[in-house]
């Protein structure tokens, strides 16, 4: 990419450096820049100490980047020095924004007596020659301009809801009204906007997914592909200047390469896919959970429309609960133990009968950190699924125990939901 399409993100605030605040602004703007067709060269986080920002601006101006988006440091306290530091870098003074001081004084008077302090009114000043950016969600104005060696910049407030509001007015003025910042970025890129597509898989490790698309990932041509793994899924990201048509073509190719482990794209979740599949069939599901402690039911009911496909859920952590709620026989528990294939099947069958549902999924296992044995180690989980035909299928899982109890439970939720997805699609279990 050319120099004209490179950008830097700058996050300002001691609260970011010491971990008190998660920097969601950087994530938001990285996506905005990529979609506009700009390449993010770097993300920097600095504190509020004097001279830190001034030093950073000297380093960045005249560098490889042509766009800087700065967030934070515009508030009403003495350590909010962004306005002054940018003014110094530009070699200009600060000037009041027409009408801003009156608005700020009025806001102050609603809750306090007397004149607003200077640090509060400072939010209504910008460096001379910079374009003010109104803040509809807070008191700190943003501003935009260009540093002496050509670096284009946007300075925005730190609180995410304010930052997004200011960004909504940070683009070019069209028909007398400011447009959003994304429009300005597209104009600066000088190329077709980048489209980002996300393709989600489950059931195979990251290394396997990568092996199926290695040639596509090694090619740095358009489309450009990346991969990221989490406890819940492996996601392939695709960036292209070819628009949705190119992403649709990639979807077809990835389906050929990855088969039925590819379950969704973009904002879809595994749960939303399952809810939609059940709703389309007019069917219902129930869950019988032991080691997951209700997390599967919680995951499903987090999606709008879940009430149409789920009416019951069972958390049967003890043997007594399995017997009384799911009608698992005492003898079966004594003979095989709670963590076993026969008990998982009995739990699923009992849940289906009690809930009168079309589908039932059960899980029973050892989430740890204690309770494991050589025969039944921590991370051993049995998943059973029974469908409308009454046939029950059970899968044995040895889940990654180094993620601790939470990790095992999350993996259990993932594998249970994928087992249901596969059952709904008539696919064999993995």
Read off the pLDDT of residues 71-125 as tens digits, 9 standing for 90 and up.
999 999 989 999 999 999 999 999 999 999 999 999 999 989 899 999 999 999 9
Rounded to 10 degrees, what is the CA torsion of 304, 305, 309, 313? 30
Question: How far is Cα 185 from Cα 172, in angstroms, rounded to an integer?
Answer: 10
Question: How far is Cα 309 from Cα 282, in angstroms, rounded to an integer?
Answer: 8
What is residue 1's DSSP assignment?
-
Tell me the average pLDDT across 54-63. Answer: 92
For residue 425 the two structure tokens come to 């699609």
Tell me the average pLDDT across 127-141. Answer: 95
Q: Given this model, what pLDDT does residue 38 score? A: 83
Percentage of the chain with pLDDT > 90? 80
Residue 195 pairs with which residues in a beta bridge? 240
Residue 336 has pLDDT above 70, yes or no: yes
Instruction: With H, G, I as helix, E, B as strand and everything else as coil, classify residue 251.
Output: helix
Q: Given this model, what pLDDT does residue 3 score? A: 40
Q: Given this model, what pLDDT does residue 101 score? A: 96
Residue 69 pairs with which residues in a beta bridge? 9, 154
Where does CATH 3.30.70.2860 sit in the chain? 195-265
Q: Which residue has the higher pLDDT, 209 or 184?
A: 209
pTM of the prediction?
0.74
Residue in the block written with tokens 């600060």: 94
Residue 2 has pLDDT above 50, yes or no: no
Residue 141 has pLDDT above 80, yes or no: yes
Please give the mean pLDDT across all residues of the chain: 92
Q: Given this model, what pLDDT does residue 1 score? A: 37
Residue 395 pairs with which residues in a beta bridge? 383
For residue 147 the two structure tokens come to 């540093």
Q: Given this model, what pLDDT does residue 430 score? A: 82
Task: Indicate the pLDDT class of residue 64, thresholds 50, 70 and 90.
Answer: confident
Angle, helix 181-189 to helix 24-36, in steps of 10 degrees: 50
Task: Give every CB contact of residue 257 below 8 A, 6+ residues apart in sequence.
Answer: 212, 213
Task: Indicate the pLDDT class of residue 4, thresholds 50, 70 and 90.
Answer: very low
Instruction: With H, G, I as helix, E, B as strand and everything else as coil, classify residue 50.
Output: coil
Q: What fold does the segment set 195-265 form as a domain?
A: Alpha-Beta Plaits (3.30.70)
Lowest pLDDT segment from 38-42, 176-180, 286-290, 425-429 = 176-180
Q: Which of 413, 393, 399, 409 is nearest to 345 (CA)?
A: 393
Residue 49 has pLDDT above 90, yes or no: no
Contact 274, 264 (CB under 8 A): no
Tell me the average pLDDT across 174-199. Answer: 78
Question: How far is Cα 289 from Cα 343, in angstroms, rounded to an integer?
Answer: 12
Where does CATH 3.90.950.20 sit in the chain? 270-424
Task: Give every CB contact of residue 91 below 8 A, 6+ residues apart in sequence.
Answer: 148
- Give me the long-range contacts of 204-207 (CB less than 8 A, separation at least 24): 204/234, 204/261, 204/430, 205/229, 205/234, 206/234
Task: Give every CB contact of residue 348 below 8 A, 6+ residues apart in sequence.
Answer: 288, 360, 361, 362, 384, 385, 386, 392
Pick the CATH number of 3-189 from 3.30.1360.20, 3.40.640.10, 3.40.980.10, 1.10.620.20: 3.40.980.10
Task: Indicate the pLDDT class of residue 190, thresholds 50, 70 and 90.
Answer: low
Q: What is the CATH number of domain 270-424?
A: 3.90.950.20
Percentage of the chain with pLDDT > 70? 98
Q: Given this model, what pLDDT does residue 5 score? A: 66
Where does CATH 3.40.980.10 sit in the chain? 3-189
For the segment 251-286, what is each residue's pLDDT rounded down to a tens digit? 999 999 999 999 999 999 999 999 999 999 999 999
Rounded to 10 degrees, what is the CA torsion of 213, 219, 223, 226? 60
Task: Give every CB contact of residue 279 below 8 A, 6+ residues apart in sequence.
Answer: 305, 308, 309
Question: How far is Cα 409 from Cα 136, in angstroms, rounded to an integer?
Answer: 42
CB atoms within 10 A of CB 244: 11
Task: Indicate the pLDDT class of residue 184, thresholds 50, 70 and 90.
Answer: confident
Tell me the average pLDDT across 389-414. Answer: 92
Task: Indicate the pLDDT class of residue 136, thresholds 50, 70 and 90.
Answer: very high
Tell me the average pLDDT across 426-430. Answer: 88
Contact 278, 309 (CB under 8 A): yes
Tell me the average pLDDT across 27-49. Answer: 88
Lowest pLDDT segment from 2-6, 186-190, 352-356 = 2-6
Burial 217-233 (b: 16+ CB within 10 A, else e): eeeeeebbbebeeeebb
Contact 137, 165 (CB under 8 A): yes
For the segment 211-229, what is each residue's pLDDT rounded down to a tens digit? 999 999 988 788 889 999 9
């Amino acid at each position: 990419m050319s120099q004209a399409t490179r950008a830097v993100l700058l996050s300002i605030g001691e609260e970011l450096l010491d971990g008190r605040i998660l920097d969601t602004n950087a994530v938001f703007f990285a996506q905005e820049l990529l979609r506009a067709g700009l390449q993010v060269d770097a993300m920097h986080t600095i504190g509020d100490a004097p001279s830190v920002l001034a030093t950073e601006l000297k380093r960045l101006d005249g560098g490889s980047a042509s766009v800087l988006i700065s967030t934070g440091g515009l508030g009403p306290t003495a350590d909010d020095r962004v306005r002054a530091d940018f003014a110094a870098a530009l070699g200009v003074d600060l000037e009041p924004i027409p009408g801003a001081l009156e608005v700020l004084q009025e806001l102050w008077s609603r809750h306090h007596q007397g004149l607003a302090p200077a640090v509060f009114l400072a939010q209504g000043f910008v460096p001379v020659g910079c374009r003010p950016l109104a803040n509809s969600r807070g008191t700190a104005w943003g501003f935009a301009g260009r540093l002496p060696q050509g670096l284009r910049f946007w300075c925005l407030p730190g609180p995410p809801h304010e930052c997004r509001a200011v960004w909504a007015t940070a683009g070019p003025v069209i028909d007398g009204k400011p447009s959003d910042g994304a429009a300005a970025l597209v104009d600066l890129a000088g190329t077709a906007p980048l489209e980002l597509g996300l393709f989600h898989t489950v059931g195979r490790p990251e290394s396997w997914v990568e092996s199926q698309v290695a040639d596509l990932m090694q090619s740095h041509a358009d489309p450009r592909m990346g991969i990221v793994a989490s406890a819940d899924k492996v996601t392939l990201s695709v960036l292209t200047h070819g628009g949705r048509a190119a992403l649709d073509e990639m979807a077809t190719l990835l389906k050929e390469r990855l088969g039925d482990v590819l379950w969704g794209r973009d904002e879809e979740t595994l749960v939303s896919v399952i809810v939609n599949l059940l709703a389309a069939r007019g069917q219902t599901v129930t869950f019988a959970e032991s080691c997951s402690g209700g997390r599967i039911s919680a995951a499903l009911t987090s999606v709008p429309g879940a009430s149409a496909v789920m009416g019951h859920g069972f958390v049967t952590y003890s043997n007594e609960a399995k017997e009384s709620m799911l009608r698992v026989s005492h003898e079966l528990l004594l003979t095989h133990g709670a963590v076993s294939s026969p008990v998982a099947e009995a739990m699923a069958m009992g849940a289906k009968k009690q809930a009168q549902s079309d589908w039932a999924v059960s899980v029973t296992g050892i989430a740890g950190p204690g309770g494991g044995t050589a025969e039944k180690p921590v991370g051993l989980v049995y998943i059973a699924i029974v469908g409308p035909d009454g046939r029950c299928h059970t899968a044995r899982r040895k889940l990654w125990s180094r993620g601790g109890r939470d990790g095992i439970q999350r993996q259990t939720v993932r594998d249970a939901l994928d087992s249901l997805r596969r059952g709904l699609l008539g696919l064999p279990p993995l």
